[in-house]
Structures are given as C-alpha cells and as structure tokens.
Amino acid sequence: MHLDWNIALLLVVTFQLFFISVFLLTIKNRKRAGNLVLGIFFLALAINIGDLLLQLTDRNHAFPLFFLLDDTLLLLFGPLVIWYVRYNMQKNFKIDLKQIIHLIPFLICLVGLFLVYSWGAPSYEEAQNAVTQGSSKAVFWVSIIFYTHPLVYFWWSKSMLNRHKNALRENYSNAVKVDLKWLDFILNSIGVIWILGMVHSIIPFSSLGEYLHISLLLFTIVLFVFINRVLFKALKKPQLFLQPLEPMTKKYAGSNLGEVLSKSLAKNLAQKMELEKLYKNPDLTISDLANLMDLSTKEVSQIINQTFGQHFFDYVNSYRIDAAKELLARKDHQMTIQEIMYEVGFSSKSSFNTVFRKKTGVTPTEFKRGQKEAKW
C-alpha cells in the first residue's frame, strides 16, 4: 500500500513541479533572470522525479534515455542554486563565462551520454546492465560523488547568504528589508530533500534494503510539502522574492577615523538618536545617518561597529525596544501593543516580537503583564 501512496504523491509532485517551472519560466518581471534559473531547477527536478515514477511503475523501458539522464542532471542542480542565490543578492549579477565553468562536470557527462546513445541507441535493459554489471563499489562511489557535488554548492550558497544578511544588518534598520527567510527556506528544504534522496539511493548498497520504502516515503512527503509551500507563495505573491539589496563589500575602506574622533562622533550620533528620535523612522538607513552627520556610510558603520559593538540594524532597534519598554511600563497611556510597535519605528509585528524577545527575554505582552503585576 505504501508504494501506491508513493506513486500517487509522486504523480502530484511531478505535475506541480512542471506547473511551477512553467510559471517561473514564463513570468515577466524585474526578477526574470533569477526566476528562469529557479524554473530550470524545478524542471530538472521534475525530470528526475519522472524517471523515478517510470521505475516504480515499470514503464522505464519506453524511455531508456531517462535511466542515465536523471543522474547527469544531478550535476546541474548545484550551479543553478548558487546562481539563483546570487541573482537575489546582487543586482548586477550575470551568468558570464566565469560562471559557465560551473557547468563543466554536467556538460562532460551530458556529452558522454549522448555519444553513448548516438553510437548504439541502447535499450533500457542494455543501459541498466551496463551499470548493474559493473562493480557495486564503483557504482556506490559514483552515486556518492554525484550527490555530494550539489551539497557542496548548497553549503556554499548558505555561507554566502549568511554573509549577505550580516552585511545588510549594517545598512538597514527595517527588518522587512533584511528578511531573507524565503531564501533560507529554499536552501534548507533543498538540502534536506537532497540528503533524503542520497540516503534512498545508497540504501540498496547496504544491508538496510528492507527500509527502502520508508526512505522513499519520507523523500516524497518532504518534497510534497516543499513544492506546495513554493506554489502557495508563488500564487500569493508572483514576484516571489525581495529586490536584491547591495551591501558594502569592503569594510571601512577609505576611512580615516581615529579612536578619539570616532568616540566623539559616536557621542554625537547617540545624542541625535535620543533627542531627534531618528529611530522612529521605520525605513531609516545608514545612508540617512551618514547624510545627517555629513559622513560616509563606511564611517558611520565603523562608528557603530567599533564603538557600540553592534550592527546598524541592532543599534537602531535597541533604541526602539527601549522606547517600547518605556511606553509599555507607563500607566498613563491607552496605547495598544500594535500602536506602540508603530510608534517606536517597527513596521512588522513578527519583527517587533522577535527583536523584543531577543532583547528582553519575553514578548511585549508578557513584559506588559509583568509590569502590571509588579505595580500591584
């Protein structure tokens, strides 16, 4: 029965993958290049799942090319993922000759595959025998290499994204601009799916063959949840992702601030933040402060990082949380928590709750309740 459920789910997932790939390949907006890359990724994944379906239903004899093509496509996923991440992080990113180098392993295998089929057009049985008659250890290690190749790219993409988020926190105070959770979700989900697929592929080489159906079911369920989450987001918000934000790349390059001057400017900055309540602007950026103080953004970033030991994002939000705590503790106001959130400069309830809890250890509601109990 589990096999029937797997087939049913995989059929649905294959259809959904083709649907979302067509959507991404045809939608025209500012993020077209990035969407094209993600669309090709989902299309290649649909082909892989389609081949798995052919194997499960014993219909792969009609499509012998798929037997090796799906393995070749494994070498395409890594470059597609890192290109997609870069398109969402860098406004001017383009796939040039330097980027095409990432496709060399995939192209070599693809050309080799077509040469094999052009010479003899083998049947499915011949293609399968060519693999199964070889050394099982060789096949095992080839599978490991093919699955590890994309994992290296996923890890690389994740590292780039984390560095990018840290850089953004030095330039923007609005958490909505810094929120890259969608990219995190894409990378984390693909990583989990990939590991499950890898485990399912190597189980036949181990003594755990009896658990093959369990690994297949786990893989199918996770893939089903992932693609439905993508579809939900795509239909709800067609553009899908944030406009790329370009952070500073060279930290404090060209800055001539000495320690004494830096401390003096830091004191001036703190006074402006407190007296003029600059933090109340939900879209405050480091460029705004730089213009106000007649400094460069690199100099303002240096002051905040070195003097206060914080990123710009955390520095501004510390003022917002202090102001929110003061309002929540007062008896003589009738403001709701949401009104306080907007008053101190937050534009997102989830961001306000997250930052408040990080700074105080409790939510705004818990803090307000604690203040009332203390007064009693």
CA–CA dist 240, 238 (Å, integer): 5
- Span 357-368, pLDDT tens digits: 888 889 888 888
Mean pLDDT score, 193-211: 82
- The share of the chain scoring above pLDDT 90, in percent, equals 12
- 370-to-317, 357, 367, 373, 375 alpha-carbon distances in Å: 22, 14, 5, 5, 9
Q: Bigger pLDDT: 258 or 287? A: 287
Mean pLDDT score, 61-81: 77
Query: Are 185 and 158 contacting, i.e. CB atoms less than 8 angstroms apart?
Result: no
Question: E strands within 75-173?
Answer: none
Instruction: Please tell me the predicted confidence (pLDDT) of residue 241.
Output: 43
- Span 294-350, pLDDT tens digits: 888 888 888 888 788 888 888 899 999 999 998 888 776 678 888 899 999 988 888
Instruction: Please tell me the predicted confidence (pLDDT) of residue 249.
Output: 45
pLDDT value at 172 more than 70: no
In one-letter notation, the amino acid at residue 143 is: S
Q: What φ, ψ does residue 251 adopt, rounded to 5°? A: -70, 120
The CATH number of 2-236, from 3.40.1350, 1.10.1660, 3.40.50, 1.20.1070, is: 1.20.1070
- Span 75-129, pLDDT tens digits: 999 999 999 988 887 777 888 888 999 999 999 888 877 776 656 555 555 555 5
- Second-level CATH architecture of 259-375: Orthogonal Bundle (1.10)
Confidence band of 248 (pLDDT split at 50, 70, 90): very low
Rounded to two decimals, the pTM is 0.65
Instruction: Please tell me the predicted confidence (pLDDT) of residue 290.
Output: 87
Instruction: Please tell me the predicted confidence (pLDDT) of residue 2.
Output: 46
In one-letter notation, the amino acid at residue 39 is: G
Please indicate whether the domains covering 2-236 and 259-375 agree at the CATH topology level.
no
- Residue 62's Cβ-count burial label (10 Å; 0-12, 13-18, 19+) is exposed
- Residue ranges of domains in the chain: 2-236, 259-375
Q: Bigger pLDDT: 152 or 70? A: 152
Distant-in-sequence, close-in-space partners of 112: CB < 8 Å, separation ≥ 6: none
- Residue 342's Cβ-count burial label (10 Å; 0-12, 13-18, 19+) is middle
